Amino acid sequence: MDRNAAQQIWEILANAIDEIYNRNASQLSFEELYRNAYNLVLHKHGTLLYDGVTEKLSSHLLNTVNRLADIEETKLLDEMASTWSEHQVSKRKLTKRQRQHNHSVLIEGRHQT
């Protein structure tokens, strides 16, 4: 896999991260996303993946902090709690999908032996 192909795959993953944080993940194929991330690492583009995810999450967190900084003091705690809750929901979705995928890979591997 050359650098251009790896960059195209990263763009797919970056867009998926945005969709997840915009609470629009229902149309995503987590199996496909997992496979894309795996292939980047397999073909020696793990640094692109790591740096890209780090940048994407840092950008999202910075946007969240900037949004929260503009909120009135009286509403800040409620907004922070809501934002944290939304983050936990997104993370649970990702973790659940990853565990389901990993479990199915293990089961498929057992059947092949």
- Phi and psi at residue 23, to the nearest 5°: 60, 45
Q: What is the pLDDT of residues 39-48, one digit of tens each?
A: 999 999 999 9
Quote the CA–CA distance of 96 and 99 in Å, as a whole number. Answer: 5
**pLDDT tens-digit map of 15-41:** 999 998 888 888 888 889 989 999 999
Q: Which residue's entry shows tokens 């999450």? A: 57
The structural domains of the chain, ordered by start, are 3-112 (1.20.1310.10)
For residue 45, what are the contacts with CB-CB under 8 A and spacing of at least 6?
1, 3, 6, 9, 10
The pTM score is: 0.74
